[in-house]
Amino acid sequence: MTTAPVLGIDLSTTPFSRRGSYFALSRVTDQQDHGVHLRTVRGDARHREIVRLLLDGGTEAQSRTTAGQLTLHHGTTSVDAVLDGPGRAYLRVRGGSLTLDFRATSQYDAVLKENEHTWRFIDSGANRNYRVRVLGGTTRFDARWDGVRNSEARLRIEAHDDTATVVVDEYGGAVPTEPLGDPDVLAAHAQADFDAWCGTHGGDERDDPAIGDTVRLAAFVTWAAIVPSGGALRRESMLMSKNRMTNVWSWDHCFNAMALWRDPQAAADQLFAVFDHQDEHGCLPDYVNDAGVERNFVKPPIHGWSISRLIDLGGLTDDAIAALYEPLRRWTEWWFAHRVYGDDGIPSYNHGNDSGWDNATTFGAGVPVQSPDLLAFLALQMQTLARMARHVGRHDEAATWTARADSTVRTLCDRFWAGDRFVARHTLTGGAIDSQSLLTFMPLVLGDLLPPAVRDRTVQRLLDGGYLTAHGPATEPPGSPHYESDGYWRGPIWAPSTMLLADGLRRSGRAELAEDIETRFMATCAGAGMAENFDAMTGAGLRDRSMTWTASVYLSMVSERAGRRSLADGVLCERAS
């Protein structure tokens, strides 16, 4: 029995997994056959639940989680789950029975017996095959064949007087041949790896009694979401979640990279995970996973903003900065070469998905749309390119990028400032779009690059418009007729918009307001976990309840707050001396 620290994890929101694994164990509550399931997070899986774990035949097992091991118990039965490598799971059964309820839901699923101790699950819904070996105990296999497929299959393992170990291997054309490991040793190795990860990316704050539990949860969510290189992924990559959001989206990865600034190689890997798939025109995909890439949409060009922040933190090596310069240049130029539809030189979003704010009211009247956030991000990206060009000795290019950044900010203010607010415009008509979306406040990310009068009026409208709730900035103000408590980008609070807004406010000289917004958001995470987004009025977690970019934003806020505190303490000490 492990003595590692217990993590306060609810399996119905935060899956148990580990760095390097494509397996996860979750308590499924949104399906008819609820209970704890072993699941796959492969990118091409049409159905993720592989087997349901029934302890003593029941579905309501209690759980205890450490980073290296999940323990389920019900009645007299306990099951220890340990993961190893990308596709192996150990289930150690003690004191009773475990039934593997195979989730044979697709039209060609089949569970067949290989020998007295081994079964194979041809899981066509998951696009994978699984081999199940039982070491010790006694077994009973029951299945129903309908002439084409198994419509039902269950394997019961009895371990009343002994210990039985179930080994589940994922495979394609050939079963794995690696020797079996000791689950206790594997759990200890996983725990040590997490402890090192948490020590690096959680910093000293992991031991802070006030926030330590939340820091460790955020660290676990990021660590456990990492999958190895292989398939379309050319390097170790952090998925957005091992619940449902099992991809690397092309702006989410920026927030994850920033949280890893203390390990520059890890930070660079998360950036390059998407830049590895830049096409010949300079375009980045919408997302990537081990099975391939999605290119129907893109995501907003916040990459320059995130790279600049990483440089400020010392989170990128000189080699990484040099290697990122050309891809970032091509990504910036792509917007002007391929997304400008008229003669005004202003690029457009083809869909809300392109902005990352999928269903924001900015896009409620149709597309394409020219949105003020896009020019703001591109201006920051140009500034970052100027900084990077100076870094690599390309000073003429640096001057050109600086001039283009200044020109882009002028265009933003000339075309999208409507006297008292920023507005988005219909690309083809130029008409202003009637929207109260927080998206139109994103030019604040420019900080002191905005004209003071524009900046101050925008901040005042943010304060007067009812956007700031007790839990953070709502993406649609609660007073809007389009507000929905669970409306995705039409109300809920999100980590990326919060971080972008707070950063811009801090660089605008509004540090107290930025600090206040961050404090509200961090308290929301402490209360509701690392959810995809949060109800703006109650703070309840919504949608995917274990998102890495939420965890990463939380870790970034914690570490930067600690850094500012240390800097202030140093200044006070210097003055005192």
Query: What is the structure's pLDDT at 571?
Result: 58
Beta strands in 66-117 (DSSP E): 70-74, 77-84, 88-94, 97-102, 110-115
Query: What is the structure's pLDDT at 564?
Result: 86
Q: How many whole angstroms separate alpha carbon 553 and alpha carbon 551?
A: 6
Query: Could you tell me which of 355, 557, 346, 342 has the C-alpha nearest to residue 440?
Result: 355
Q: How many whole angstroms separate alpha carbon 225 and alpha carbon 208?
A: 24
C-alpha of 426 from chain center: 31
Q: How many whole angstroms separate alpha carbon 140 and alpha carbon 158?
A: 8
Cβ-in-10-Å burial (0-12, 13-18, 19+) of 452 comes to: exposed
The dihedral region occupied by 308, where left means phi > 0, alpha psi between -120 and 50, and beta the remainder, is: alpha
Residues 108/148, Cβ–Cβ less than 8 Å? yes
The residue extents of the domains of the chain are 23-187
What is the maximum alpha-carbon separation in the chain?
Answer: 85
Coil, helix or strand at residue 473: strand
Query: Could you tell me which of 194, 154, 165 has the C-alpha nearest to residue 33?
Result: 154
C-alpha of 378 from chain center: 23
Tell the residue number behind the tokens 């409306």, with chain if given: 487
Confirm whether pTM is higher than 0.85. Answer: yes
Buried b (16+ CB within 10 A) or exposed e, 302-335: bbbbbbbbbbebebbeeebbebbbebbbbbbebb
Angle between helices 303-313 and 318-338 (to 10 degrees): 160
Query: Could you tell me which of 546, 541, 549, 548 has the C-alpha nearest to residue 485?
Result: 541
Q: How many whole angstroms separate alpha carbon 19 and alpha carbon 237?
A: 10
Query: What is the structure's pLDDT at 2?
Result: 44
Query: What is the structure's pLDDT at 524?
Result: 98
Query: Could you tell me which of 382, 370, 371 has the C-alpha nearest to residue 449?
Result: 382
Q: Phi then psi for 126, rounded to 5 degrees?
A: -95, -5
Residues 450/383, Cβ–Cβ less than 8 Å? no
Across the chain, which has 577 residues, the per-10-residue mean pLDDT values are: 80 97 94 90 95 92 96 95 98 96 92 96 94 97 91 93 94 93 98 97 90 96 98 98 97 98 98 98 98 98 98 97 98 98 97 98 97 98 98 96 98 97 97 98 97 97 97 98 98 98 97 98 98 98 97 97 76 59
Query: What is the structure's pLDDT at 243?
Result: 96
Residue 540 DSSP label:
-
Residues 197/219, Cβ–Cβ less than 8 Å? yes
Q: Dihedral of CA 520/522/526/529: which sign?
A: positive
Q: Phi then psi for 207, rounded to 5 degrees?
A: -100, 5
Q: For strands 110-115 and 541-542, give the pairing.
A: unpaired
Question: What DSSP letter does each residue of 204-267 carry, written as one string?
Answer: GGGG-TTTHHHHHHHHHHHHHTEE-SBTTB-S-EE-S-SSS--SEETTHHHHHHHHTTTSHHHH
Q: Phi then psi for 491, rounded to 5 degrees?
A: 150, -55
Residues 52/35, Cβ–Cβ less than 8 Å? yes
Q: How many whole angstroms separate alpha carbon 555 and alpha carbon 577?
A: 33
Order of all β-strands in the sheet with 118-123: 62-65, 70-74, 77-84, 88-94, 163-171, 128-135, 118-123, 110-115
Q: How many whole angstroms separate alpha carbon 558 and alpha carbon 118?
A: 48
| Number of CB atoms found within 10 A of residue 147's CB | 5
Q: Which CATH class is domain 23-187?
A: mainly beta
Query: What is the structure's pLDDT at 502?
Result: 98
Query: What is the structure's pLDDT at 1?
Result: 44
